[in-house]
Amino acid sequence: MPRAKKITSEDLCRLALDYQQIVAGMKITIPAFGEYVRSQGYAVEDYLIRRNKEVREHIEAYNQAIVQRNIDAVIVFHGLDIDAFLAKNSSPQALKEALTKRDAYYEKIANNASELKKKNEKLEQENNQLKKELEKAQQDLAVKRNHDRDAEIQTKNELIRKLREIIYSRVYPEMANLILQKEGIFESVNKLIMPEAIDAHMMTADQEIKTFRSNAVNELLSDFDE
């Protein structure tokens, strides 16, 4: 069995030109072209053809030209001069051949129009799919933002709860309420503080300050450090 030949970019371009003549105006696909190349004795896979920039651009340019030609064929109408047509095709055989050619021409136009319609429908479907994916991405982003915001609010609420516990356990309740009001945590509290309450909890200059330790305070401080 003969060894398969290696192929160069020049060989691929030459074979692409040959294949254009074979398909006679039809669009070229990589799988079909790959089969043709391998039938000529070259060992090349389809993915290698796709990776070859020169050949890929050549095929894409050819296919775009075919599409444009099909569009031009749809929008051009050839009127029929009846007298000239009959004069040129005076015999039954000539008339039959001329009508057959004209029929084939308009059949091609109909086929091109049908192909363009299918491509347009496909593009609309792809566009609708992209819109759905965009909407879903926006919804997912909104959900994530809400989740992050809820988590942040939950964290702050937990810190407030811990602060309240410390204040209520270490500070006279009425003074604690005023502290919370000042920080905007309470909207309204009893503003009247009994004098004896202030005297009982007020520190003086000659009063000994005792070391204060609290696991709750340490935990809060560690949260703020983060």
Examine residue 110 and state whether it is found in any structural domain, yes or no. Answer: no
Residue after which a domain boundary falls, among 76, 93, 121? 76
Examine residue 114 and state whether it is found in any structural domain, yes or no. Answer: no
Examine residue 107 and state whether it is found in any structural domain, yes or no. Answer: no
* One domain, residues 142 and 217: yes
| pLDDT, averaged across the chain | 75
Q: How confident is the model at residue 31 (pLDDT cuts 50, 70, 90)?
A: very high
Q: Span 1-25, mean pLDDT?
A: 80
Alpha helices in 76-91 (DSSP H): 82-88
Nearest partner of 25 among 57, 68, 56, judged by Cα: 68
* One domain, residues 147 and 219: yes
Examine residue 54 and state whether it is found in any structural domain, yes or no. Answer: yes
Name the most confidently modeled range: 97-101, 187-191, 211-215: 97-101
pTM higher than 0.85? no
The residue that leads in pLDDT, 132 or 68, is: 132
Phi, psi of 158 (to 5 degrees): -65, -40
Examine residue 141 and state whether it is found in any structural domain, yes or no. Answer: yes
Residue after which a domain boundary falls, among 47, 76, 105? 76
Q: How confident is the model at residue 211 (pLDDT cuts 50, 70, 90)?
A: low
What is the domain count for the chain?
2
Examine residue 151 and state whether it is found in any structural domain, yes or no. Answer: yes
Examine residue 85 and state whether it is found in any structural domain, yes or no. Answer: no
Domain with 64, as residue range(s), is 1-76
Examine residue 126 and state whether it is found in any structural domain, yes or no. Answer: no
Name the most confidently modeled range: 28-42, 106-120, 201-215: 28-42
Residue pair 102/79 in contact (Cβ under 8 Å)? The answer is no
H or E, element range at 3? none
Nearest partner of 6 among 39, 37, 43, judged by Cα: 43
Q: How confident is the model at residue 81 (pLDDT cuts 50, 70, 90)?
A: confident
Residue after which a domain boundary falls, among 36, 57, 76? 76
pLDDT at 153 over 80: yes
